[in-house]
Amino acid sequence: MQRVLVLEDDDDLRTLLCDLLVASGAQACVSAASFEAMVRQQEQVLQCELALLDVNLGARVPSGLDAYHWLRENGFEGRVVFLTGHARSHPLVRQAHELTQARVLSKPVNAKELMALVRKPDGSHDA
């Protein structure tokens, strides 16, 4: 069973992602619309095994990369997957690609690929 963190500033997508991941086997979904909202839920966030982080959380606000660094600095040991709808050439997206302990998926990501993130290798799930 996995707990997942979804950090996404778009309300609709955040809700839908949580629904999909829970439907695909995640035990629970901790969602946050911003870096600050994520930090406020520190206890639940750090219990997650998977973090789905949107790279761009809006102009002039902490990005998904800031969230990544905060998670690692606070002992988060789970998998990190970045979601981005932006150009690969942008410095923030490039930095995300350079992180060895994180995957970067470009929006729109196929739903099956998202579901596979919480499914066991044999295709089953614990729900």
Which among 36, 40, 50 has a CA at the least distance from the CA of 6? 50
93 token code pair: 């997206």
Residue nearer to another protein on the CB measure, 15 or 41: 15
Q: Which two tokens stand for residue 7?
A: 């950090």
Which residue, 46 or 115, is less far from another protein as judged by CB? 115
* Residue carrying structure tokens 């988060």: 76
48 close to 78: Cβ distance less than 8 angstroms: yes
Q: In what order do the strands lie in the sheet with 50-54?
A: 26-32, 2-7, 50-54, 79-84, 102-106
What stretches of 1-127 show up as alpha helix (H) in DSSP? 11-23, 35-40, 42-46, 64-73, 91-98, 111-116
Minimum distance between the CB of residue 18 and another protein, rounded to whole angstroms?
A: 10
Query: With respect to another protein, which residue has the nearer C-beta, 63 or 76?
Result: 63
**Smallest distance, Å, CB 39 to another protein?**
21
In terms of CB distance, is 40 or 88 closer to another protein?
Answer: 88
Residues within the interface to another protein (CB under 8 A): 10, 12-13, 16-17, 19-20, 23, 56, 58-60, 83, 85-93, 95, 106-112, 114-115
Q: Closest approach of Cβ 48 to another protein, in Å?
A: 19
Q: How far is the CB of 93 from another protein (least distance, A)?
A: 8
